[in-house]
Amino acid sequence: MITTTNLSKKYSGNEVLNISNLDIPKGQSFGLVGNNGAGKTTYFSLLLDLIKPTTGYIKTNGILVNESEDWKPFTSAFIDESFLIGYLTPEEYFYFIGDLRGQNKQDVDNLVSQFEDFFHGEILGQKKYLRDLSKGNQKKAGIVAALIGNPEVIILDEPFANLDPTTQIRLKQIIKDLAEKKGVTVLVSSHDLMHVTDVCERIVVLDKGHVIKDIQTSEATLKELEAHFSGTANPV
Amino acid sequence: MISKFLSLEWKSFIRSASFGKSLAIKIVMGFFALYFILVFLALGFGLYPILQKTFPDQDPFIVVNGFIFFWFLGDLLLRFFLQKLPVMSVKPLLTIPIKRSSIVHFVLGKSAFSFFNFLPLFAIIPFSIILITKDYPLATVMTWAAAMILLTLINNFLNFIIESFSAETELSFLPIIIFAGTLFGLNYFNIINISGALSTAMLAIVNNPLLLLILIVILIGLYLFNHKILIKKLYLDHSLKTKIKEVTTSDLGWTKRFGDSAPFMQLDLKLIWRNKRPRSAVFMLVFGLLYGLFFYPQPIYRDMPIMYGFIGVFVTGIFLINFGQFIPAWDSGYYKMLMSQNIKYEQYLKSKYTLMVLSVIIMFVLSIPYVYFGWKILVAHFAAAVYNIGVNSYVIMLGGSFNRKKIDLNQRAAFNFQGTGAVQWLIGIPLLLLPLAIFGLLSHFVSFYAGISALILLGVIGIIFHQKIMRFITNKYLDSKYEMIKAFNQDN
């Protein structure tokens, strides 16, 4: 589904990402872990064509991401709060995203209503603008907005950060369902090793822009990751 | 402690992101400052001879004191709109072991060194010098100057108190208008003769310098009151409080007729109505509409048809200019998201274009009453409206593709230069001067109607080639996509 070839990104001579080869098959739940500055967000930004690769390319479904825009209809993402439009209410925001993805109000309502549990009564019908919601609630709205329009690829940067424990558990279930039942390719990054091992079938460890581990998740994975990060983790 | 604060202040000044970048703004702001200094200097030196001429039988010094009240009000109003207490910058200091009280003292103390407090000196000192050369007693003049400086500082702190109250109301400028209006009204209708009282008070102080103590006491009182307000506000939930009010939503169904750019139209309308800064572009409409009234009633301008074209472009294009110059920076907060979404850039731009065109048409219709001052004005406004639709709307969108400055939608509007770069100053040349040149030259050397025809012709050409021009502009935007994302991602 997603192939990365010879991808690198340099900022004024400083290499922040260098992935020679990475294949993510369709329907895989894929986890990206690494310390600060490992290149997780850079990789996601390249996937979304928000920054230009210095060398190499990413292909989604055979489409060159930095040349064609045809990947946009089946790809969605929530990277950070700057993906939200602060002066809209959550409902308006969902409808707006729905409009962009060819969904009418009814479609959006149907989808969003499945997540009432996840929202915990703090998002819908609050008569508040997104900018006035707490960070955690903003994140919930952003994550659900990324699910609108039946995307085949969903990219979530640090989805677990800022969420309360209940919501974290619910989110894990949502991500698992997406990959297992609907065949959606989900890309998740996190600092929380537990969460990624719970959710992802495959985990890739980035360090200073390089892939240094590529693990199919098993019982032993969490131990392995913990050992890796306690041994080689750089103090931030 | 103070030295630490000062070093922080210095660093924030020279390391601010805009220090190097926005040289153009610095120059313009410097120019403004210089201009005001010159005006005040001229006032200081010129006041005495002018007053001597206009009121030959009165002592200029007494006359000046009669005007102190108006000076006081004017100064206060100006400060309210231009001067801010930089409370937010101390947020990181709250958790480190510095007494809250000394943080507040620093913030307040710093405000005393504001440009607004130095500016009056440029008038007060020259005037005092002239008074001395005119053989007024030195002690009198010194006392007067001291009293004026104290008054300036009193205004400085009074303004912050008014601001802190107005921050809590929805119409933030209401308290100051009420305050200044009441004082002015009481004085004007002679209910209380404040200007007379102030003048008498000033003369009393001059005659008895000990009375300066009263001003000093008032100043200290205001300072302490500020201190009291501020120290209470120095909590995250106070000065950082974002007021949450209930939202009323409307579905803006009528925008559906604009087809596939309807979602963006709805977004733009909400953007304009729900955020302080773009909303001010709407209020500017009123100002724009009344702009013609500065000129048309005066016979000098009525006999100068050249002015009609210029005023026409300005009146019908005020929203276009105010709103258009910050495309696409209005959406800078969520630009990344838009770029990763399944959108056609052309639809996005078309929505902005439609809004601007609508505003031009509305402004033209509203400006029809100017026909009272002559038919030619209506004709010129029509030509200007066509020109605005067919040329200026594209020019301003094209200028937008060079936009690299983020805008924080929630900031106060008046004299907010955030998001303003060289582009905004340069764009004014083709936007206003070009039509003025075309129209002016033709109507001066050929005929009025030749100028009108030229404007209309250019506008119509632009409208005919709409598709082509939009495609060209869209490509310009796409070319600078990465740069815009990067720039909008930075806080400036």
**For A99, which of B263, B339, B409 is closest by C-beta distance?**
B263
B135 touches chain A (CB under 8 A): no
Instruction: Give the C-alpha separation, B276 to B243, whole Å.
Output: 13
Kindly indicate the confidence band of residue B240, based on its pLDDT and cuts at 50, 70 and 90. Answer: very low
Cβ distance B334 to A88 less than 8 Å, yes or no, reads no
Kindly indicate the confidence band of residue B209, based on its pLDDT and cuts at 50, 70 and 90. Answer: confident
Q: Chain A contacts of B275, Cβ < 8 Å?
A: 87
Interface test with A, best of B332, B341, B474, B481 (most A CBs within 10 A): B341
Yes or no: say if B313 and B435 are a contact pair by the CB < 8 Å rule.
Answer: yes
Cβ distance B247 to A128 less than 8 Å, yes or no, reads yes
Closest Cα partner for B387 from B317, B450, B289?
B317
Sign of CA dihedral B451, B453, B456, B460: negative
Cβ distance B247 to A85 less than 8 Å, yes or no, reads no
Q: Chain B contacts of A92, Cβ < 8 Å?
A: 249, 270
Summarize pLDDT for B256-287 with one digit per residue, the tens: 777 777 888 888 888 888 887 787 777 778 77
Strand order, beta sheet including A55-60:
A14-24, A2-11, A55-60, A63-64
Yes or no: say if B377 and B296 are a contact pair by the CB < 8 Å rule.
Answer: yes
Cβ distance A83 to B337 less than 8 Å, yes or no, reads yes
Residue of A nearest to B484 (CA): A50
Cβ distance B263 to A51 less than 8 Å, yes or no, reads no
Asked if the model's pLDDT at residue B414 lies above 70, the reply is no
Summarize pLDDT for A124-161 with one digit per residue, the tens: 888 888 988 888 999 999 999 999 989 999 999 999 98
Cβ distance B342 to A51 less than 8 Å, yes or no, reads no
B269 touches chain A (CB under 8 A): no
Rounded to two decimals, what is the model's pTM? 0.71
Asked if the model's pLDDT at residue A107 lies above 70, the reply is yes
Summarize pLDDT for A179-232 with one digit per residue, the tens: 888 889 999 999 889 899 999 999 999 998 999 989 998 888 888 888 888 875
- Least trusted range by pLDDT, from B89-98, B176-185, B375-384: B89-98
**For B249, which of A75, A92, A99 is closest by C-beta distance?**
A92
B260 touches chain A (CB under 8 A): no
The CA distance from B485 to the nearest CA of chain A, in Å, is: 7
Strand order, beta sheet including A210-216:
A75-78, A153-157, A185-190, A29-33, A202-207, A210-216
B249 touches chain A (CB under 8 A): yes
Instruction: Give the C-alpha separation, A4 to B394, whole Å.
Output: 39
Q: Does residue B96 or residue A157 have the better pLDDT? A: A157
Q: Chain B contacts of A54, Cβ < 8 Å?
A: none
**For B340, which of A48, A99, A149 is closest by C-beta distance?**
A48
Cβ distance A129 to B263 less than 8 Å, yes or no, reads no
Kindly indicate the confidence band of residue B454, based on its pLDDT and cuts at 50, 70 and 90. Answer: very high
Cβ distance A92 to B489 less than 8 Å, yes or no, reads no
Interface test with B, best of A85, A134, A137 (most B CBs within 10 A): A85
Summarize pLDDT for B7-31 with one digit per residue, the tens: 877 776 666 554 554 555 667 667 7
- According to the model, what pLDDT value does residue B34 have? 84
- According to the model, what pLDDT value does residue A236 have? 41
B103: left (phi over 0), alpha (psi -120 to 50) or beta: alpha
Tell me whether the omega of the peptide bond preceding residue B120 falls within 30 degrees of 0, making it cis.
no
Q: Does residue B274 or residue B252 have the better pLDDT? A: B274
Q: Chain B contacts of A72, Cβ < 8 Å?
A: 340-343
* In chain B, % of residues over pLDDT 70: 86
Kindly indicate the confidence band of residue B421, based on its pLDDT and cuts at 50, 70 and 90. Answer: low
Q: Chain A contacts of B334, Cβ < 8 Å?
A: 82-86
Q: Does residue B270 or residue B175 have the better pLDDT? A: B270
B262 touches chain A (CB under 8 A): yes
Q: How far is CA B474 from the centre of its chain?
A: 31
**For B340, which of A77, A86, A127 is closest by C-beta distance?**
A77
**For A132, which of B242, B335, B486 is closest by C-beta distance?**
B242
| 3 state DSSP class of B377 | helix
Sign of CA dihedral B62, B63, B69, B73: negative
Cβ distance B270 to A77 less than 8 Å, yes or no, reads no
Cβ distance A87 to B336 less than 8 Å, yes or no, reads no
Cβ distance B263 to A96 less than 8 Å, yes or no, reads yes
* In chain A, % of residues over pLDDT 90: 52
Interface test with A, best of B340, B483, B486 (most A CBs within 10 A): B340
Q: Chain B contacts of A127, Cβ < 8 Å?
A: 246-248
Which whole number is the average pLDDT over B189-207? 82
Closest Cα partner for A167 from A200, A150, A142?
A142
B485 touches chain A (CB under 8 A): yes
B345 touches chain A (CB under 8 A): no
B261 touches chain A (CB under 8 A): no
Strand partners, A55: A8
Asked if the model's pLDDT at residue B100 lies above 70, the reply is yes
Residue of B nearest to A83 (CA): B337
**For A79, which of B267, B275, B336 is closest by C-beta distance?**
B336
Kindly indicate the confidence band of residue A235, based on its pLDDT and cuts at 50, 70 and 90. Answer: very low
Q: Chain B contacts of A89, Cβ < 8 Å?
A: 247, 249
Which whole number is the average pLDDT over A14-38? 91
Instruction: Give the C-alpha separation, A225 to A216, whole Å.
Output: 12
Q: Chain B contacts of A49, Cβ < 8 Å?
A: 339-340
- According to the model, what pLDDT value does residue B392 have? 92
Asked if the model's pLDDT at residue B156 lies above 50, the reply is yes
Q: Chain A contacts of B410, Cβ < 8 Å?
A: 131
* In chain A, % of residues over pLDDT 70: 98
ipTM of the complex: 0.85
Closest Cα partner for A45 from B102, B164, B174, B485?
B485
The CA distance from A230 to the nearest CA of chain B, in Å, is: 31
The CA distance from B391 to the nearest CA of chain A, in Å, is: 29
Q: Does residue B412 or residue A229 have the better pLDDT? A: A229
Yes or no: say if A142 and A171 are a contact pair by the CB < 8 Å rule.
Answer: no
Which whole number is the average pLDDT over B339-358? 86
B409 touches chain A (CB under 8 A): yes
Cβ distance A50 to B482 less than 8 Å, yes or no, reads yes
Kindly indicate the confidence band of residue B55, based on its pLDDT and cuts at 50, 70 and 90. Answer: confident
CB neighbours of B260 closer than 8 A, spacing ≥ 6? B344, B347
Residue of A nearest to B490 (CA): A82
